[in-house]
Amino acid sequence: MIKIIETFSPEETFALGKCMGMEASPGEILCLDGDLGTGKTVFTKGFAEGLGVQDDVVSPTFTIIREYETGRLPLYHFDVYRIGDVDEMDELGYEDYFFGNGVTLIEWASLIQELIPETAIILTIEKDPEKGDDYRRITLKPSP
Ligand code: ADP
Ligand code: MG
């Protein structure tokens, strides 16, 4: 089933993330796709708040992964934008995260497509210049 949600401000995208974080279950994997600056990190910050994470969520662009343990469930936040090769994911021990009991969010997940489990949910954020700077169309669909 495909679900489309429109947001009109960063706060609304944050709120969507927060709702989904409140409902998240162990082992959930959410792939966040969309161009630079569409709101993947804004969504993740909301999601973390929904999980009850106490720490500030900062983009893991240079570290690839950041782990937050202060919420209802562990949150594993990946940003694979700078990954050179999928082998780097093996070196990070990604399987322990993807198949663990926490919740995994992956920014730029399409860059590591072959590693994404079938159970993942794909969330794509798109802009539409005709609808203004703050408009985002967010599509939720099962892994292909
Ligand atoms: P990404 O992680 O996808 O590169 P960020 O979340 O870091 O993007 O940044 C998104 C930027 O877009 C922020 O500056 C945010 O304020 C802005 N923005 C404007 N409208 C929205 C919206 N509807 N949803 C999310 N972010 C928005
Ligand atoms: Mg980001």
pLDDT, tens digit, 9 for 90 and up, residues 22-78: 999 999 999 999 999 999 999 999 999 999 999 999 988 788 999 999 999 999 999
Ligand 1 centroid to residue 56 C-alpha, Å: 17
Query: Is the Cβ atom of 41 under 6 angstroms away from ligand 1?
Result: yes
144 lies in some domain: no
Q: Is 90 a domain residue?
A: yes
Classify 27 in phi/psi space as left (phi over 0), alpha (psi -120 to 50) or beta: left
Cβ-contact 39, 124 below 8 angstroms: no
CA distance 109 to 122: 9
Helix/strand/coil for 109:
helix
Radius of gyration of the chain (CA): 14
Print the domain residue range for 52: 3-103
Ligand 1: which of 14, 42, 133 to mutate, most ligand atoms within 8 Å of CB?
42
Residue 21: what pLDDT?
98
Structural domain includes residue 46: yes
Structure tokens at 48: 């973390």
Q: Whose CA is nearest to atom 5 of ligand 1?
A: 39
Residue spans of beta strands (DSSP E) within the chain: 3-7, 29-33, 65-68, 75-79, 103-107, 121-126, 136-142
**80 pLDDT exceeds 90?**
yes
Ligand 1 center from residue 141 Cα (angstroms): 21
User: Which tens digits make up the pLDDT trace of 81-120?
Assistant: 999 889 999 999 999 999 999 999 999 999 999 999 999 9
- CA-CA distance, 18 to 119, in Å (whole number)? 21
Instruction: Indicate whether 9 belongs to any domain.
Output: yes
Q: Give the count of domains, the chain.
A: 1
The domain that contains 93 carries what CATH number?
3.40.50.300
Q: Is the CB of 104 under 6 A from ligand 1?
A: no
